[in-house]
Amino acid sequence: MHFYGILDRYIGKNIVVMVCLVAVCLTVFTGIITFIDKMRYIGRGDIDFLFVCKYVALLVPGFFVTFFPVAILIGGVIGLGGMARASEIVVLQSLGLSRINISVSCVKSLLPLMALVMAIGEYVVPPMQQYAENQYSVYASKGKMSVSKSGIWLKESNSFIGIQVMLTDGTLVNVHRYDVQGDRLVAHSHAQSATYHNGMWQMKNVVTVHFGERIETERKAQEIWNLSLNPERIDVIGNTGNNLTIKGLYDYIDYTEKNGGDSASYRLELYGKLMQPVIMIVMLFLALSTVFGPLRSMSMGTRILSGITLGFGYYVLNQVVAPFSLVYGIPPLIGASMASAVFGVLAVWLLRRRA
């Protein structure tokens, strides 16, 4: 028995083509809107029309990954709805295929595409978006090398470290370090710049003020700071959403917790990324519910509108539940999976219910 037979290929062709088409349409539409919005950057520093084109082009893969779950829902509604309207679903059932068989065929067809999208989201989108933001900082500032990371504060053991600027080569500028014991400030150090070599930070032009029985000031042209912090971890803090990889999030969560920090928001982001395959499967089952559930007797336009409404409902619930989990101390895993669980139950209920 073949894992992927003729009927699987036929069903898969209809689903995959429509999902890809919808994903491309949503990506292009979002790209146009973003391009129009970013046109206001022209004239800011060295930014011109060509730069805006390149900037938006670098963001396009991120749009595709973001809208792919919704594309599965809408594309599935259109693809399966078209088959139902042509009585092809009835023919497939007369050949002995049950709802479960058809559902499994759809899942098998989309699995390679889902894996590809997940890989793009993990390995392609973060560096491209990071490069886009770096280039924006370079062109906007006319400095052609600096990337503003102002306002970053990190906890390193019994020290608090503030970084004003991080350059594109990983060099830090204007670094402050506050060493504390309990609630007492022991010392304050300021380094004009810092570079990372062999797992250690080489600080330059360091001024340290020691607060003991008397205040003493110490000046050094160079000083080595042995910190567990590295440029990649600093870079994580300045990024959100698709700029963060699963590996980067996991690494920074480990670093934060070892230093007594709160990692709940990063765990929420990590679990949200890990839930992406589940979200895609839920969207597919919601699409299947429009063919086998109570919506099957409705027109194609109504089905598509229902699919869009369900997708929007999922987005709203996820955006509401996720922040609430942080505010009220709910485990991040629950906050990241709640919307998927609710709509997964809804999909199963619609599939089991007859018109």
287 & 221 share domain: no
- List strands edge to edge, sheet with 184-197: 146-156, 159-167, 172-181, 184-197, 200-211, 215-225
Q: What is the token pair recorded at 5?
A: 């037979």
48 & 104 share domain: yes
Tens place of pLDDT per residue across the chain (355 aa): 456 677 778 888 888 999 999 999 999 999 999 999 999 988 888 889 999 999 999 999 999 998 999 899 999 888 888 887 777 777 877 877 777 788 888 888 899 999 999 999 888 998 888 788 778 767 776 644 344 444 577 777 788 888 876 665 677 878 889 999 888 899 999 998 898 888 888 999 999 999 988 888 999 999 998 877 777 666 655 554 446 678 878 877 887 777 666 778 888 888 888 899 999 999 988 888 877 765 566 677 777 788 778 888 888 888 888 878 888 888 888 888 898 899 989 888 887 775 4
CB atoms within 10 A of CB 184: 8
299 lies in some domain: yes
Domain end residue (candidates: 197, 227, 257): 227
57 lies in some domain: yes
In this predicted structure, what is the pLDDT of residue 145?
Answer: 39
12 & 125 share domain: yes
Q: What is the token pair recorded at 234?
A: 């600093």
Q: How far apart are CA 241 and CA 235, in angstroms?
A: 13
Tell me the three state secondary structure of residue 97.
coil
38 & 69 share domain: yes
In this predicted structure, what is the pLDDT of residue 32?
Answer: 96
If you write DSSP's letter for every residue of 252-310 in order, what string do you get?
HHHHHHHTT---HHHHHHHHHHHTHHHHHHHHHHHHHHHHHSGGGGS-HHHHHHHHHHH
Domain end residue (candidates: 191, 212, 227): 227
241 lies in some domain: no
List C-alpha distances in Å: 171 to 47, 175, 206, 275.
Answer: 24, 10, 15, 35
In this predicted structure, what is the pLDDT of residue 263?
Answer: 77
Domain end residue (candidates: 227, 251, 284): 227
Q: Which domain holds residue 111?
A: 6-141+272-316+333-352
180 & 208 share domain: yes
40 lies in some domain: yes
Q: How far apart are CA 155 and CA 162, in angstroms?
A: 9
In this predicted structure, what is the pLDDT of residue 239?
Answer: 53
116 & 39 share domain: yes
104 & 14 share domain: yes
248 lies in some domain: no
19 & 66 share domain: yes
The owner of tokens 């709910």 is 330
In this predicted structure, what is the pLDDT of residue 150?
Answer: 45
345 lies in some domain: yes
Helices (H), the chain: 6-38, 49-85, 88-94, 99-119, 125-141, 231-237, 246-258, 264-274, 276-292, 300-327, 332-352
105 lies in some domain: yes
State the total domains in the chain.
Answer: 2
65 & 120 share domain: yes
170 & 223 share domain: yes
125 lies in some domain: yes
Q: How far apart are CA 76 and CA 346, in angstroms?
A: 17
85 & 26 share domain: yes
In this predicted structure, what is the pLDDT of residue 318?
Answer: 83
169 & 85 share domain: no
End-to-end, the C-alpha distance of the chain in Å comes to 34
